[in-house]
Amino acid sequence: MGDTGSLALGGVLVGLAILTRTQFLLAILAGLIVMITLSVIIQVGGFKLTKKRVFKMAPLQHHFELSGWAETTIVVRFWLMSALFVAIGLGLFYLEWMPKK
């Protein structure tokens, strides 16, 4: 998938989140993507302000790769983090459906 397809899918996801008023939920469900994006923002902003790098390399997965982690270790840990964010997001979403006492 190229830039056009991924941008279109992202736009559709954000549009649906806005229409259904679940923007916060989308940010939690996409927590790993948000973390990776924030790592780039922190790296660029920190370098422009202090001329020092915060991470060895941005995005975040490359920092871990340069720190000596195996590629499979990074992928599995990111899968687990993504699953954790989805579990938290779904838990918060369905918390609304719980009966109130």
Instruction: Specify the pTM.
Output: 0.78
Asked if residue 23 lies in contact with residue 17, where contact means CB atoms within 8 angstroms, the answer is yes
Q: What is the pLDDT of residues 4-30, one digit of tens each?
A: 888 899 899 999 999 999 889 999 999
Q: What is the pLDDT of residues 28-69, one digit of tens each?
A: 999 999 999 999 999 999 999 999 999 999 899 999 999 999
State the pLDDT at residue 36. 93
Domain definitions of the chain by residue range: 22-95
State the pLDDT at residue 1. 66
Share of the chain residues as helix, strand and coil, in percent rounded to the nearest 5: 75, 0, 25
Distance (Å, whole) CA 10 – CA 60: 21
